[in-house]
Homo-oligomer: A and B are copies of this chain.
Amino acid sequence: MKCSVPKGTRDFLPIEMARRNYIFDTIRGVFRAFAFEPIETPALENLSTLMGKYGEEGDKLLFKVLNSGNFMEGVDFADDYHRVAPRICDRGLRYDLTVPFARFVVQHRDQLTFPFRRYQLQPVWRADRPQKGRYREFYQCDADMIGSPSLLNELELVQMADMVFARLGIRVVMKINNRKVLAGIAELIGAPDKIVDITVAIDKLDKIGHDGVIAELRDRGLTDGQIEALQPVLALNGTATEKLDQLEKTFAAVEVGLKGVAELRELFGYIQSVGTQCQVELDLTLARGLNYYTGAIFEVKALDVQMGSILGGGRYDNLTGIFGMPDVSGVGISFGADRIYDVLTELDKFPANLEQSAQVLFINFGAASLPYILSCAARLRAAGVSTLVYPDNAKMKKQMEFANRSHVPFVVFIGEDEMRDNTLTVKNMAEGTQQTTTLDDLLKTLTV
């Protein structure tokens, strides 16, 4: 029988667990410093909670769970499979942490104190085509605040991202945009349905130049008049503040655009006031998650590695509306733990000695010394020292090989002398030295 995991899923070995936990602990520590509280939602959600929230493509990528019992009863299998699937599946696997969070807020609104900040570190599932850096089962690390329109929330998310990547030692650039500015641009040129086409084209300015962008805009169906109206946006340059000044003039009477400029101005003002370690840029081509973002849009990229974004986020003014609780504004960020893992690996930035394996191994010489060994081991373990007793009275060579391969730093030998004198002979495996000591002294060495 062939042993394997499903395509796009992974096992995590102890060393990988240690590295992943290093990332999770760093993120969790920052979330807690900013007073976010942990919640968890079930992996299984009602399919009705998930369907229609991620677009048509998203509905296809939902993993659907077959009903138990006779799922076939009363179902017409001559119908199209798209229509059959939701009839034989009432539940699906969580696709992200945002929609379940919205459902959670509505369901538990009476138990929560608003503004409410929660964080959530859990796996999500997508039936995407697996490829390098894209998995079907992967972890998201989300922090959202809900119930306050203040831009101080946006500031704190920027600070949190900055703190996490500084602590992980990853040099990054944070890009910020605002959906209202994008809406303003579309309104300005009279092409409200072309936001995505416009941003995709503008995004290539560095690569294909001004004329290239114009050609692309024309390919994407913009009229000459619209392209002409877009000129001031294409010509934007300078610092964030300078760009915002130019935009404000360009928008003139486009209200939504001016609101976006004002929000960005306030946010960049805060950011300059507190300062960040990472680069923060205004990027008018940033358009991720247009489905539900209504204000700020965030994205972080690593500077020293070629990799997609390692954080995304934004403000959504009406996420809980889909579950019947309107007018609750939220803003959040999501760290891509798997990509951060890949970045740290590529940069070789994981701390050494992360793996928590045994610190002490007692060599097993058979029944005579066992009671003595077990009582020493019990004391070490009670003090939290990771301790192994080799379980079998195997040949010394085999036991030492095990010690070497397991990277145990201290190996203890107990013979008649040690039992008589109430001592231990301890070999320091890194230094190759050996000395006789007491349990108390060993404990002190190990728990300092």
Q: Is the CB of A44 within 8 A of B136?
A: yes
Q: How many copies does the complex hold?
A: 2
Q: Is the CB of B68 within 8 A of A65?
A: no
Q: When each residue 344-361 of chain A gets 1 if its CB lies under 8 Å from chain B and 0 otherwise, what string results?
A: 000000000001111000
Q: A71-B85, A149-B392 are in contact. Are A3 and B323 (CB under 8 A)?
A: yes
Residues on B with beta carbons closer than 8 Å to the beta carbon of A386: 32-35
Least Cβ–Cβ distance between A7 and chain B, in angstroms: 9
Q: Is the CB of A43 within 8 A of B43?
A: yes
Choose one: B39, B375, B380; the contact of A274 (CB below 8 Å).
B375
Q: Is the CB of A324 within 8 A of B113?
A: no
Q: When each residue 1-44 of chain A gets 1 if its CB lies under 8 Å from chain B and 0 otherwise, what string results?
A: 10111100111111001100100000001101111011111111
Which secondary structure dominates chain A's binding surface? mixed
Residues on B with beta carbons closer than 8 Å to the beta carbon of A12: 39-41
Interface residues of A in 146-192 (CB under 8 A from B): 148-150, 152-153, 155-156, 159, 163
Task: For A29, give the chain B residue with the smallest CB separation.
Answer: B384
Residues on B with beta carbons closer than 8 Å to the beta carbon of A395: none
Interface residues of A in 41-73 (CB under 8 A from B): 41-46, 48-49, 60-61, 63-66, 68, 70-72
Q: Is the CB of B137 within 8 A of A43?
A: yes
Q: A29-B384, A374-B270 are in contact. Are A39 and B11 (CB under 8 A)?
A: yes
Q: Is A389 an interface residue (CB 8 A)?
A: yes
What are 8 A-B interface contacts by the 8 Å CB criterion? A1-B48, A3-B103, A5-B42, A12-B40, A14-B37, A18-B38, A63-B65, A270-B374
A residues lining the B interface (CB < 8 Å): 1, 3-6, 9-14, 17-18, 21, 29-30, 32-35, 37-46, 48-49, 60-61, 63-66, 68, 70-72, 77, 81, 84-85, 88-91, 93, 103-104, 106-108, 111, 113, 115, 118, 123, 125, 127, 136-137, 145, 148-150, 152-153, 155-156, 159, 163, 270, 273-274, 322-324, 355-358, 364, 370-371, 374-375, 378, 380-382, 384-389, 391-392, 402, 405-406
